[in-house]
Structure 1
């Protein structure tokens, strides 16, 4: 086992090898969720649509957040982005924890793949799943909210950055957790509350002063608010501020995860 641990540590610290191993790992991670698409893609789409039907039915015509934008139209982008974030996180986190529990992670550790290869493969697959689920939710919501895109560039930028950040956070959770119970703690007590309290169902401007201030410290709020700006051209804060907060968050968390991968954090035991 000492020899295996030494080889695993060396492989993660090694410079990127001139091979296509990362592509094979990325393909493996994409196929992992695609083979059970009913659970990983269709089910989250159905959940988001149920949110839209319930909240839209109750509040449509009674609440108007932005002038000229109905509540269902306001809610749809928030649900799309929420689905992107939650599923990107779930993909990388569950994959890493599952590999630990099944004991097949050692075979990956013995490959010449560098930390960057691991990072690109796991996060790339998380981005793919998040965007696929988000696209599915968007296509279904078109039936309830007429399509309107004020700035497609903002939509794409925040969708990709949001999926990237959550894919990296999922990888971080997967590295830290040794079993699904620990991963569930990360998801249920950090990801879910921060997502639901990020302005998916409401504008933070409707909150009392103290809670409005607290919401501005939630990075998930900036991803959702910037994404919604791409649809209607209005938002609670400047999209450039949202872009800055999201971009800095991606860089900081990515640097941390790459450091943990290079040092073999909780991978060599």
Structure 2
């Protein structure tokens, strides 16, 4: 029994599960489900912060822009400005919450010194990666459903392509969940995470076509806009909700998926080596 316990603890350090762990195939499904469930309970236990607050923020954005501009703002892409704005606000809220879920979970564990409780169980790097990302994806879906349930009926929006909208919510949540993991792994304290949030994540979100069409910006800025993966997430959500977009949705989804795989590979490598986690 003693040798088994030692092997179980060493498993994650070597990048493989420990002996004596019940597995189905090559995956520790019980461990993966436990980690994912923990990440989901983190935000469902405080639903007033993770659902009510994002819905209220989305409503405030809509109220400020529609009331401040009134009828002065012309139609955008042939749509009333409020209709054009709603899908972008929804996606921006989704990705911000997916980012917050993984970044806060890992960084709090690092600061409190309890990250070892996550690294020591017999979970491989891919299982750790999947568990954290799924937590962010579920929070993204949770927020998307809440915001859509309020904004879309309020402005009379009936999703034109709901499956496309769902695909972009899933991919967007996964992408920002990975960005949150990378940020938390790099950060040593909350000030570092705040700096990345304020100077990287927030500008990428706001300067991504949420409040304007790509056709309305200068050519030089339009090139930068099309490099930003968040632009394709917001543009894809607009296509799913309204049936219009600045770029082909298939191209945007492929670009976002490529970004997911790239960040996923980097995060997997850091989890496997224990970069800034085990030291």
Give TM class, smaller chain: over 0.9
Show the counterpart of 1:121: 131
Relative to the length of structure 2, the TM-score reads 0.90
Relative to the length of structure 1, the TM-score reads 0.93
Given that 1:13 and 1:262 are in contact with CA atoms closer than 8 Å, whether structure 2 keeps it comes out as yes
- Structure 1 runs of 4+ aligned residues shifted over 3 Å read 7-12, 15-19
Counterparts of 1:86-97 in structure 2, within 5 Å, are 86-97=96-107
Distance 2:206 2:236 in 1: 16
Show the counterpart of 1:185: 195
What is the CA deviation profile of residues 203-225 of structure 1, one whole-angstrom value per residue up to 9, with x for unaligned ones? Answer: 11111221112211111101110
**What SS does structure 1 have at the residue aligned with 2:154?**
coil
- Asked if 1:63 is matched to 2:65, the reply is no
* RCO comparison, higher one (Cα < 8 Å, 6+): 1
Show the counterpart of 1:98: 108
Distance 2:11 2:30 in 1: 20
Match of 2:63 among 27, 32, 53: 53
- Asked if 1:211 is matched to 2:232, the reply is no
- Stretches of structure 1 lacking an aligned partner (at least 5 in a row): none
Distance 1:8 1:186 in 2: 33
Given that 1:60 and 1:72 are in contact with CA atoms closer than 8 Å, whether structure 2 keeps it comes out as no
- Between the two proteins, the alignment pairs up a number of residues equal to 263
Specify whether residues 144 and 60 from structure 1 end up closer, same or farther in structure 2 by C-alpha distance, changes over 3 A only.
farther
Q: Compute the displacement of 1:19 (Å).
A: 4.6
Given that 2:208 and 2:225 are in contact with CA atoms closer than 8 Å, whether structure 1 keeps it comes out as yes
- Asked if 1:169 is matched to 2:184, the reply is no
Given that 1:17 and 1:112 are in contact with CA atoms closer than 8 Å, whether structure 2 keeps it comes out as no
Q: Compute the displacement of 1:120 (Å).
A: 1.3
What is the CA deviation profile of residues 223-247 of structure 1, one whole-angstrom value per residue up to 9, with x for unaligned ones? Answer: 1101111122211111121112111
- Stretches of structure 2 lacking an aligned partner (at least 5 in a row): 1-5, 18-25
Specify whether residues 19 and 217 from structure 1 end up closer, same or farther in structure 2 by C-alpha distance, changes over 3 A only.
closer
Distance 1:133 1:88 in 2: 9
188-197 or 173-182: bigger deviation = 173-182
Given that 1:9 and 1:262 are in contact with CA atoms closer than 8 Å, whether structure 2 keeps it comes out as no
Match of 2:160 among 113, 132, 150: 150
What is the CA deviation profile of residues 117-154 of structure 1, one whole-angstrom value per residue up to 9, with x for unaligned ones? Answer: 11111111111111111211111113431122221121
Counterparts of 1:190-205 in structure 2, within 5 Å, are 190-205=200-215
Specify whether residues 211 and 27 from structure 1 end up closer, same or farther in structure 2 by C-alpha distance, changes over 3 A only.
same
- Asked if 1:243 is matched to 2:247, the reply is no
What is the CA deviation profile of residues 192-212 of structure 1, one whole-angstrom value per residue up to 9, with x for unaligned ones? Answer: 000000011111111122111
Distance 2:174 2:70 in 1: 32
Distance 2:115 2:149 in 1: 37
Distance 1:60 1:232 in 2: 21
Given that 1:72 and 1:144 are in contact with CA atoms closer than 8 Å, whether structure 2 keeps it comes out as no
Show the counterpart of 1:28: 38
Given that 2:11 and 2:122 are in contact with CA atoms closer than 8 Å, whether structure 1 keeps it comes out as no
What is the CA deviation profile of residues 27-68 of structure 1, one whole-angstrom value per residue up to 9, with x for unaligned ones? Answer: 11111111111112211211111000110122343221121x
Given that 1:59 and 1:71 are in contact with CA atoms closer than 8 Å, whether structure 2 keeps it comes out as no
